[in-house]
């Protein structure tokens, strides 16, 4: 069984709409160390595509994305 990923920080963007989750994610990813994981919670449907693109464009790794009853949970690993 795989070990659960432990995020260094959790960012709660539930109730916020584009572009706020993206802006806050960028700010928080800059505040953690390379190799650390940021957990982002959001309920804005646009956040899924925005944060996938953000991770790819910035060279970070989207480790996990799940949707539980309309709340998206992202685990993004800072790579550089």
Half-sphere exposure (Cβ direction) of 67: Cα atoms closer than 13 Å: 8
Domain map of the chain by residue range?
9-77
* Catalytic residue list contains 13: no
Choice among 16, 18, 63, 65 that is catalytic: 18
Distance CA 13, CA 20 (A): 8
Fold of 9-77: Translation Initiation Factor IF3 (3.30.110)
Q: What is the pLDDT at residue 3? A: 63
- The pTM for the full model equals 0.93
HEC profile of the chain: CCCCCCCCEEEECCCCCCCHHHHHHHHHHHCCCCCCEEEEEECCCHHHHHHHHHHHHHCCEEEEEEEECCEEEEEEECCC
Task: Please list the rounded mean pLDDT of every run of 10 residues in the chain (80 residues).
Answer: 80 96 97 97 96 97 96 97
């Amino acid at each position: 069984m795989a070990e659960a990923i432990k995020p260094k920080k959790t960012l709660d963007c539930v109730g916020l709409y584009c572009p706020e989750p993206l802006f806050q994610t960028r700010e928080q990813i800059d505040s953690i160390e390379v190799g650390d994981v940021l957990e982002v919670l959001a309920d804005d449907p646009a956040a899924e595509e925005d944060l996938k693109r953000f991770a790819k464009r910035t060279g970070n790794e989207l480790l996990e994305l799940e949707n539980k009853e309309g709340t998206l949970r992202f685990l993004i690993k800072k790579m550089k």
